[in-house]
Amino acid sequence: MSNFAFGTYRISDSNLQHIEALKEAIRSGVKIIDTSSNYMNGGAERAIAIALSEFDRDVQEEIEIISKYGYIQGTLLQEYLQNPSTIPNSQEIVKYSQECYHSISSSFMHEELTLSLQRLERDVLECYLIHNPEYYLLDAINRGISKDERLDVIYERLQEAFVGLEEEIMSGRINSYGISSNSFSLPESSEEFLPYEDLLILAQNAATIVGNKKHSFTTIELPINILERDGLKCATWAKKNRLRVLANRPLNAKHNNKMYRLADYEESRDYYHHFNELLEICDNEELRTLYNLIEQLDVSMHKFDWIGNYDIFLYTQIVPHIRKTLEKLDMENSQEIINFLDMYLTEYKKMVAYECSKKTRAEFEDFFNGCFISMQECAVKFLMQAQDVDVIIVGMRKPSYVHQILSLRE
């Protein structure tokens, strides 16, 4: 049966509830915490340090922290754009989007590891992963580079990265390393698939170059869930080669290029109270545009396929619209409206999640056939029963989430 790890993708050191959830997980027996240098611009690693500081040294030493490097985002990206020399080997940097660049070079890794250790307040990291090295493949595909050529280049880059990681093994700053890749979960026919059969040969070559007797490549991480099962083939290969398999995204599944949340949500009991209350407050000429927005939201709550799409819509469309309306009001009135809007949008999100979960369960009825408990319980138990999965990484941003997930072990 698989163990659970605490996933920190959206964990921030500025959120006390996140830190309390981390502490509750540790108290409840979670021994692995998965993080990355780019999560919340380093805030996730700082949050881990804060949470662990509450425990005795014996408890701290029982916790394995797995971190990753590769992403150039947030303040790091701003610094790079202002002065490219801040990141060595800039010729190997890949531009994924305006907000995200990427590099797996060993020189970049050495610097990122130093920063991660500082944020985590540790001298040694138990396991350090290269984070989505396939970003080079995506870039090469877009530039029209042939498959053979792009695979040759990514193997060269991985070999160089492994040499750097083996150097860190020798220096004692990490105990093991591996790769976290979304491409491992794709069909082998996919252009974005990262072949993994030769990775251990590259790792042993790197160990030999550095002077280590054997390589320290021990771990792979990839998305596996009840909908995305192609990664199980990679997991089987990994176990045959005595590697540890970490499954991420157990509840956020990608299917036919669309995202789904594999969880049931209850309908909000207070939504219509806040909806009618807000309409009444906005029923005047000054707030007519806000009144119309609330009405439009009410009839649109069933149109979202995934709660993540709503979050994007909220911050790109709804919030700017609200801000523009409130700019016309005086401070006292705008604050009152903000309070009502906050209560309404909290319940609205619950309704969106409820509508999404109904559609997801109906659309994937075959996957959840015979599932008479919640979708999240069925999804997690599917992974718990997968013989080649060692660890399930779950985001648990509230203490109540920790209890819900860990209760499945019983």
Cα separation values, 143 from 95, 147, 309, Å: 12, 11, 29
Residue 1 has pLDDT above 60, yes or no: no
Q: What is the pLDDT of residue 243?
A: 98
**In terms of Cα–Cα distance, which of 351, 366, 382, 128 is closest to 249?**
382
C-beta of residue 181 within 8 angstroms of C-beta of residue 243:
no
In the numeric block, which tokens belong to residue 213? 């007797």
Residue 295: band (very low, low, confident or very high) from pLDDT cuts 50, 70, 90:
very high
Give the pLDDT confidence of 178-220 residue by residue, as tens digits: 999 999 999 999 999 999 999 999 999 999 999 999 999 999 9
Mean pLDDT of 323-341: 85
- Cα–Cα dist 357/1, whole Å: 27
Give the pLDDT confidence of 355-390 residue by residue, as tens digits: 999 999 999 988 988 888 999 999 999 999 999 999
pTM: 0.92
C-beta of residue 133 within 8 angstroms of C-beta of residue 154:
yes
Give the pLDDT confidence of 225-278 residue by residue, as tens digits: 999 999 999 999 999 999 999 999 999 999 988 999 999 999 999 999 999 999
Percentage with pLDDT > 70 across the chain = 99
Q: What is the pLDDT of residue 410?
A: 67
* Mean pLDDT (the chain, rounded): 94
Cβ neighbours of residue 236 under 8 Å, at least 6 residues apart?
388
Q: What is the pLDDT of residue 305?
A: 86
- Token match 């054997």: residue? 214
C-beta of residue 13 within 8 angstroms of C-beta of residue 48:
no
In this structure, the strands spanning 100-102 and 71-72 are antiparallel
Residue 121 has pLDDT above 60, yes or no: yes
Residue 399: band (very low, low, confident or very high) from pLDDT cuts 50, 70, 90:
very high
Residue 309: band (very low, low, confident or very high) from pLDDT cuts 50, 70, 90:
very high
Give the pLDDT confidence of 37-72 residue by residue, as tens digits: 999 999 999 999 999 999 999 999 999 999 999 999
C-beta of residue 179 within 8 angstroms of C-beta of residue 243:
no
- Paired residues of 4 in beta bridges: 392
Q: What is the pLDDT of residue 141?
A: 95
The residue length of the chain stands at 410
| Angle at the Cα of 195 from the Cα atoms of 390 and 65, rounded to 5 degrees | 35
Cα separation values, 249 from 7, 195, 302, 375, Å: 9, 21, 24, 14
